[in-house]
Amino acid sequence: MRTKLFILSSLISFTFLAQAQEISNGVMKLDELRKPAYREIINIPEVNGYQVLKCDFHTHTVFSDGLVWPNIRAQEAWEEGLDAMALTEHIEYHPHKDYVEVNHNRSHELIENLSKRNNVLLIKGTEITRQTPPGHFNAIFIGDASSYIEDNVSEKDWEAVMKAAEQNAFIFWNHPGWKPNIEGSYEWLPFLEDLRKKNALHGIEVINGFGFHMKALDWCVDKGLTVMGTSDIHNLVGHDYDRSRKYVHRTMTLVMAKERTPESIREALDAGRTVAWASKYLAGKEENVKNLFNACVKLLPSHYSQEKNGVRTNFYEIQNKSDLYFELELTSGKGTQKITLYPMSSQLLSAEAGQQSLSYDVTNAYVRSDKFLNISFSL
């Protein structure tokens, strides 16, 4: 095929390689300095036949108070391996309005084709931005946003949210308690209960960016609402999050869906099959978090055994075949006290022979504000 001394393809050398830098028409291309461009695959196995879709339904652009043109959000979503995203501009808040058109549909429209081409599901959304309390609500799967209520006087709070309900949107309450020391801002007010009863409130942001709103998890569990995690990104994802660490991703919602379609996502959201994921932290209903854990982590059969001072110890490999991160702490049985499972890695676990099982708290996985997921390994 080739008889030449030099062939195509290569990379960095610590010593001097003969490397070719292309000069075309008197311009030398320095493309070697570019960041490689690709779509990362976030590796999470199927959970009981459901695909685990990576979704961020709370983001902003210059069309409300974000700092980027919509294309950057599309680009970030593609590169970071998101399956679905929504741009959720504030209806009531437009600090750039002297320079940028106020149009509640615009940012979505501008990246519709780009998102389709990129195979990222773009879900139409908005942020209904009321005074606190009750605060902000995201509505996704909305229709035309042009007639939503811009005036954020409290008299219109109900009507404002109802605009979304009328469009059959999926509506969730954002970052409860985000502003400290405002009376009623972190309470389950009658307004919320009324929304819920009218089928105009379906979920709560349990984790918003770098804030884990712990009470919200309990409300979701107790009132049958869907657990949401979002980035609420205004700046760049790569600026806010330390993406140089393998386990750090933007905060998002893991949605266990039958298919990778908007309809399946909606079905899963309505059914509450979600876990909020903030890099090292997971929060969700016990069943969902447990199923997710069990899909990712396996204890292999014991591969080695040794006896010391009359006590026999069996050794196991515990594998985390996902890009999630887990910390385990022994709660019953005699075995390794603490285990950190980094993404796509395994650890050794040892257990005294003769036991049926070991139980661990997964101390980075919350199923209530005051309760970790507890799992048991059969030995």
- The kind and range of the H/E element at 158 are helix 157-166
Tell me the β-bridge partners of 82.
Answer: none
Q: Smallest gap, in angstroms, from Cβ of residue 98 to a second copy?
A: 7
CA distance 28 to 207: 47
Q: How far is the CB of 165 from a second copy (least distance, A)?
A: 28
* CA quadruple 328, 329, 332, 336: dihedral sign: positive
**Rounded CA gap, 100 and 103, in Å?**
9
Residue number with CB closer to a second copy (170 or 325): 325
Q: Nearest distance from residue 37's CB to a second copy, in Å? A: 4
Our CB check for a second copy shows the closer of 29 and 198 to be 29
**Residue 53 in 3-state DSSP?**
strand
Q: Measured from the CB of residue 159, what is the shortest distance to a second copy in angstroms?
A: 28
| Closer residue to a second copy, CB minimum distance, 152 or 319 | 319
Query: Phi/psi zone of residue 286: left (φ > 0), alpha (ψ -120 to 50 degrees), beta?
Result: alpha
366 vs 52, 123, 369, CA distance in Å?
A: 18, 28, 7
Identity of the residue, 274 or 364, whose beta carbon is nearer to a second copy in the bound complex:
364
Q: Which residues contact 185 (CB under 8 A, 6 or more apart)?
A: 132, 133, 135, 176, 177, 178, 179
Q: Are 230 and 58 in contact (CB under 8 A)?
A: yes
Closest approach of a second copy to the CB of residue 239, in Å: 6
Of the pair 114, 162, the CB lying nearest a second copy is at 114
Residue placing its CB nearer to a second copy in the complex, 169 or 318: 318
**Alpha helix segments (H runs only) across 243-311:** 262-271, 286-296
Distance of alpha carbon 207 from alpha carbon 58, whole angstroms:
11
Q: What minimum distance in Å lies between the beta carbon of 155 and a second copy?
A: 28
Residue 283 C-beta: closest distance to a second copy, Å:
10
Closer CB to a second copy, 200 or 220, in the complex: 220
